[in-house]
């Protein structure tokens, strides 16, 4: 029976051209070999499974090849290449820094570096997971790394570049390996499936690629696992069952329920998902990704950002046509807040259910907004200015042949109400003037009538301004000041207490002054509450001339009360000096 070799090893790249998703790195290395500009030390850093060690081996094999091809690849025919392929090369040394991280291990490496190669030009030392070396080992390695023998080349590989000391980084050429794109992983998996005689659905390979998170090695390992589970046919259903991935169908049905305001159906689907063993937090993050994919499908230029198979791509395009961009933005905001609050939530199921109910209410609020906007439009249409009404009347004047005679037109008063003077005596009512439509067409009386209509319109606008800037008392100001706390969304308890405890004063010209005790209170008030309170007071008291100013209470500033945690501690320390000793012995802090 033939021994099974995992796909990650069997299909490991052996040439620069076969490396997946690292074109910039491989092109730079090939040019360095071609121009004979090899550095004494390289540092390959990046996430797991993206080809760091693979590129290190290909580089080691190529620079020792005696017959490099025109494409700057190893020939696989010379003695050095054959020794490398059969794992018997003495010029390439691989070390694991996780198990050889002491000073003594580095000393033995330095002694070994002095020995020249027996075959080939260079001795290459590949040190994997180099960030695991101790600080003392790094320091002992510095001199050799900076000035190694001419035949020695070091290739360091790590997944955690930030853990390597700067003195090591400055002595290396650094290559940053990126995560492999989903499309590249899918193409590689299709190539492997074809060679292995496996029929795989494209959607299934997309799920495997997403689960691999940019790592080719992880994708091949998952592929082997799925093949062991389902045999020579890999389907979408087999993949989600084996990897315990939530079916995309749930996300599509959830969004449809949101658009119908069907919170009952959402809660039932959530119960089914949880009964299948899925974590609610995992469901929320998956729903966020689904909403994000719908959002990128809104524009033709961003459709390329959608990471899905051809079958699901059509479904995304179909569903996004029925959703508005505002709904998707608000849904993403709600889900991101829910994701952030999962760590502090004690009842995660209830937290998830409340999130789904909020999402169902989004479209309901949009409908209410549309209805209110329609009603507002109707009200606006009713309040047509006098000039526009006059223009409408003029446009509706019949043709000259159908104009009535002057004596056939009844008199129409322009102003019906009688005016009264300040003493209460009634003045003579305005005597309506009559005119013919023919005269109106000639423009004899039009200017006079327009002046009267403009005067009435200006008086109505002035009345509206007076109504907006109405007077109010200090008690009404205090009442609305406290009422603001009931309707606000300020989440700072200390700031709410400050607003509640400091009632404002009212000065002439609608100037509202609030006196605070210290600079910290004033800074918090100005930054987090001032603009909201001012807007609320203008609307609640129907006065747009209100101004709000925060000042420091001069009387209380002299005898400043403790406000911050440190000030409170110093205040108590004056009464009992032993508190300082207690704080030091117990290792206490202000938090």
222/162 Cα distance (integer angstroms): 29
Confidence of residue 127 (pLDDT cuts 50, 70, 90): very high
Closest by Cα among 471, 491, 550 to 515: 550
User: How far lies 159's CA from each of 131, 375, 390, in Å?
Assistant: 8, 61, 78
> Domain 248-367: which topology?
Zinc Finger, Delta Prime; domain 3 (1.20.272)
pLDDT (0 to 100) of residue 507: 85
40/150 Cα distance (integer angstroms): 8
User: How far lies 45's CA from each of 150, 451, 453, in Å?
Assistant: 24, 81, 79
Q: For the structural domain made of 474-558, what CATH number should be given?
A: 3.30.300.180
**Cβ atoms of residues 197 and 231 within 8 Å:** no
**Cβ atoms of residues 33 and 65 within 8 Å:** no
**Cβ atoms of residues 57 and 65 within 8 Å:** no
pLDDT (0 to 100) of residue 377: 54
Q: Which of 184-193, 282-291, 444-453 has the lowest mean pLDDT?
A: 444-453
Question: For domain 182-243, is the CATH number 1.10.8.60?
Answer: yes
**Cβ atoms of residues 412 and 432 within 8 Å:** yes
Q: What is the pLDDT of residues 161-186, one digit of tens each?
A: 999 999 999 999 999 999 999 889 99
The mean pLDDT of 513-538, rounded to a whole number, is 83
Closest by Cα among 375, 372, 252 to 323: 252
Q: Which residue has the higher pLDDT, 126 or 486?
A: 126
Q: What is the pLDDT of residues 281-310, one digit of tens each?
A: 999 999 999 999 999 888 888 887 887 776
What are the boundaries of each domain within the chain?
7-176, 182-243, 248-367, 385-396+434-463, 474-558
Inform me whether the pLDDT recorded for 192 exceeds 80: yes
Q: Which residue has the higher pLDDT, 77 or 364?
A: 77
- b/e string for 367-391 if b means 16 or more Cβ within 10 A? eeeeeeeeeeeeeeeeeeebeeebe
Residue 434, CA atoms < 13 Å, CB-side half-sphere: 8
Residue 415 is inside which H or E element, if any? Answer: none
Closest by Cα among 274, 273, 277 to 249: 273
| Backbone torsions φ then ψ of 569, nearest 5 degrees | -65, -45
pLDDT (0 to 100) of residue 369: 56
Inform me whether the pLDDT recorded for 440 exceeds 70: no
Q: Which residue has the higher pLDDT, 494 or 77?
A: 77
The mean pLDDT of 73-100, rounded to a whole number, is 88
Inform me whether the pLDDT recorded for 41 exceeds 80: yes
190/184 Cα distance (integer angstroms): 10
pLDDT (0 to 100) of residue 426: 46
Inform me whether the pLDDT recorded for 433 exceeds 50: no
Confidence of residue 124 (pLDDT cuts 50, 70, 90): very high
| Superfamily of structural domain 7-176 | P-loop containing nucleotide triphosphate hydrolases (3.40.50.300)
Among 56-65, 397-406, 519-528, the range with the most confident prediction by mean pLDDT is: 56-65
For the full predicted model, state whether its pTM sits above 0.85.
no
Confidence of residue 412 (pLDDT cuts 50, 70, 90): very low
The mean pLDDT of 518-538, rounded to a whole number, is 83
Calculated CA dihedral for residues 15, 17, 19, 23, nearest 10 degrees: 140
């Amino acid at each position: 029976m033939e021994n099974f070799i995992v796909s990650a090893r069997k299909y490991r790249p052996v040439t620069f051209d076969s490396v997946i998703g690292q074109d910039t790195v491989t092109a730079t290395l090939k040019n360095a070999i071609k121009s004979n500009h090899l550095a004494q030390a390289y540092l390959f850093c990046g996430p797991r499974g993206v080809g760091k060690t693979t590129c290190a081996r290909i580089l080691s094999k190529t620079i020792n090849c005696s017959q490099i091809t025109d494409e700057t690849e190893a020939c696989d025919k010379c003695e050095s290449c054959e020794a490398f392929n059969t794992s018997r090369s003495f010029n390439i040394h691989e070390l694991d820094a996780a198990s050889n991280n002491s000073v003594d291990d580095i000393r033995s490496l330095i002694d070994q570096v002095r020995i020249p190669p027996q075959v080939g030009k260079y001795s290459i030392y590949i040190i994997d997971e180099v960030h695991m070396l101790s600080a003392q080992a790094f320091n002992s390695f510095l001199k050799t790394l900076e000035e190694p023998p001419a035949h020695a080349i070091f290739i360091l590989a790590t997944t955690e570049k930030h853990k390597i000391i700067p003195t090591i980084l400055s002595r290396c050429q650094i290559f940053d390996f990126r995560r492999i794109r989903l499309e590249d992983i899918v193409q590689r998996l299709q190539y492997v499936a074809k060679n292995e005689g496996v029929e795989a659905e494209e959607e299934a390979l997309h799920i495997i690629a997403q689960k691999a998170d940019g790592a080719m090695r992880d994708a091949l390992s998952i592929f082997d696992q799925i093949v062991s589970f389902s045999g020579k046919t890999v389907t979408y259903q087999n993949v989600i069952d084996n990897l315990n991935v939530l079916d995309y169908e749930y996300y599509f049905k959830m969004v449809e329920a949101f658009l119908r305001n069907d919170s009952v159906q959402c809660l039932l689907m959530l119960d089914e998902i949880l009964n299948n063993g899925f974590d609610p937090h995992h469901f929320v993050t998956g729903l966020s990704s689904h909403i994000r994919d719908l959002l990128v499908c809104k524009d033709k230029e961003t459709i390329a950002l959608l990471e899905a198979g051809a079958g699901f791509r059509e479904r995304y395009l179909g569903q996004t046509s029925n959703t508005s961009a505002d709904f998707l933005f608000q849904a993403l905001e709600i889900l991101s807040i829910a994701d952030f609050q999962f760590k502090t939530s004690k009842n995660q199921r209830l937290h998830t259910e409340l999130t789904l109910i909020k999402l169902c209410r989004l479209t309901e609020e949009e409908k209410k907004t549309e209805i209110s906007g329609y009603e507002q439009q109707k009200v606006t249409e009713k309040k047509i200015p006098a000039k526009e009404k006059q223009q409408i009347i003029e446009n509706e004047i019949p043709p000259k042949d159908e104009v009535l005679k002057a004596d056939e037109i009844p008199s129409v008063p322009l102003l019906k109400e009688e005016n009264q003077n300040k003493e209460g005596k009634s003045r003579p009512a305005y005597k309506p003037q009559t005119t013919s439509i023919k005269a109106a067409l000639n423009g004899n009386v039009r200017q006079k009538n327009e002046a009267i209509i403009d005067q009435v319109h200006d008086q109505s606008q002035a009345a509206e301004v007076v109504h907006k800037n109405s007077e109010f008392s200090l008690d009404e100001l205090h009442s609305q000041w406290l009422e603001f706390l009931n309707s606000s969304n300020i989440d700072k308890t200390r700031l709410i207490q400050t607003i509640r405890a400091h009632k404002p004063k009212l000065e002439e010209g609608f100037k509202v002054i609030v006196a605070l005790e210290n600079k910290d209170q004033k800074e918090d008030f100005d930054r987090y509450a001032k603009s909201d309170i001012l807007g609320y007071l203008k609307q609640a008291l129907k006065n747009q001339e209100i101004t709000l100013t925060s000042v420091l209470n001069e009387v209380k500033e002299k005898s400043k009360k403790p406000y911050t945690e440190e000030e409170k501690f110093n205040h108590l320390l004056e009464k009992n000096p032993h508190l300082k000793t207690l704080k030091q012995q117990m290792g206490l802090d202000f938090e």
